[in-house]
Amino acid sequence: MKIASGKIGVFSLILLLVFLAGKTVTGAEVSGRYTMGYEDREVRDGSRESVMVNYLSFEAKRLPVTNLSVHGFSKYAYEWQRGDSATGIYYLYGNHRTFEGRNDLLFGRFPLESHRFLTLDGVHFTQRPNRPFGYSLYLGQPRYMEIHDDRFERQFRDSGDYLAGGKIFLRGVEGVRANASYSREGGGGDVYREIIGVGGGKDYYFTRRQEERDEVIVAVDGSLDYNPDQSAVDRLSARLFVIYPPRLRVVLQADRYDVRDNYPADRELIITLFSTGREDRAKYTVTYDWRPEIAFYQSSVFTELEMPDGAWRRGRIVKGGVIGDYRESRGVLFDAGLYHFNSHLSEANGLALSVDYQYDQVWNLLVGLELVRLSKPLRDEKNARSVNVELGYKPGDRWKLAGYLERSDNPEYRNDFRVGLRFDYLFGFALGRAAQRVGP
């Protein structure tokens, strides 16, 4: 973590503005979440870390300016052994949105559309008129960050002094999606990256028999980002969803991406630490609802990674298992599965089990177990085990306290041991009206 004791004021200032604004902005409604966590963990070299992490997210509406709202999300973290601290504002922006979002203006620091890492310090304007097409324009300074507990301020790559772009998208056609976009990032008279993007999708509905109401649903979506400077596809995504009532669901996915910029949220880690970051990935998942409470699934992931020498290496994960949902009758949700992992660096077979038990409206217990047998590389210890337990206490809909621990003898991908506490609080109030509450 960076030494950032001077930045503590940023986090404190956000809190101060939210709570003192009630003296001047009477009637404004504020809602959000505050999360505080403390974790003690043992790392690979045998040393220990103790980390405190605080997250604050909020939304303020009904401000004196009509149609204006304010949104924020920030973090303050402190590592006790080294005395290091880090403060980061992931986003803090105003949103002026007219009826039904016909005109939508963002200003400040905000996430740029659906990008997982990219935030923009600038402005973003979207217009959705009563015509077949709408458009959006944006301009600002980019920042690439991830919001994982340990990597909130990490820069995945250098960013330019500016990022400008726009998008044209289809409106008003039910079940059909289409868009075209352009962006340009640069600084100091140089263009770092230029991207031309296209995307689209369509939903299909098929009736199996005339007398049946159940419809087969097929949805297709895809997008492509092209880099004209490199004459290469920078990012590619394709999805096919099939729902065949009453029991069968199928998802097919294909992606090309660079982990320094973006990647699918459900991506599996396959020898990524040794690659350049560029990956091709294909995945399918088939789910069969045997009974209302029991579903069987089988999924496979095939990944190719570009190595520093230019070669592409393959990795594969094949998994199958069962999901049981007995929350209504017994308060239990479980997932049990077997998997096989294979790459040019390692090979393993594993068993994973997770159980979520809701004892009553207040107490909740999560238990996870993973057993792995390593076939490659050869080691004295071929088995690896991980156990994690979390006990949650939630007396109402406002706050929750949870304690957890994890013990693993596979320190390559996890800490040997970690234990911690997490506190979540949902708040809502009207500024200047102490007796009135907003939200749940």
Instruction: Supply the range of the domain harboring residue 293.
Output: 270-393+403-412
- Total domains in the chain come to 1
345 occurs within a structural domain: yes
pLDDT at position 241, please?
97
Rounded Cα–Cα distance for residues 370 and 337 (Å): 10
- For the beta carbon of residue 126, count every other beta carbon within 10 angstroms: 20
199, β-bridge pairs: 179, 223
- Mean pLDDT highest for which of 9-23, 104-118, 422-436? 104-118
Residue 432 is predicted with a pLDDT of 61
Q: Residue 86 — pLDDT band, cuts 50, 70, 90?
A: confident
Position 325 scores a pLDDT of 96
Q: What is the reported pLDDT for 324?
A: 97
Please report whether residue 303 resides in a domain.
Answer: yes
Q: Is 326 helix (H, G, I), strand (E, B) or coil?
A: strand
Say if 332 falls within a structural domain: yes
Does residue 329 lie within any of the structural domains?
Answer: yes
Q: What is the mean pLDDT of the chain?
A: 83
Residue 104 located in a structural domain: no
Find the CATH number of the domain harbouring 315.
2.40.160.40
Is the torsion defined by CA of 370, 373, 375, 376 positive or negative? positive
Query: Is 309 a member of any domain?
Result: yes
pLDDT value at residue 427: 92
Out of 24-38, 174-188, 260-274, 401-415, the most confident range is 174-188
More confident residue, 317 or 27: 317
pLDDT tens per residue across span 305-341: 888 888 888 889 999 999 999 999 999 999 999 999 8
Burial 210-239 (b: 16+ CB within 10 A, else e): eeeeeeeebbbeebbbbeeeeeeebbebbb
373 domain residue, yes or no: yes
At position 265, the amino acid (one-letter code) is A
74 pLDDT band (50/70/90 cuts)?
A: confident
- 122-153 pLDDT, tens digit per residue, is 999 999 998 899 999 999 998 877 655 544 44
| 287 found inside a domain | yes
CA dihedral over 206, 208, 210, 214, signed as positive or negative:
negative
Enter the pTM of the model. 0.81
- Tell me what pLDDT residue 93 has: 92
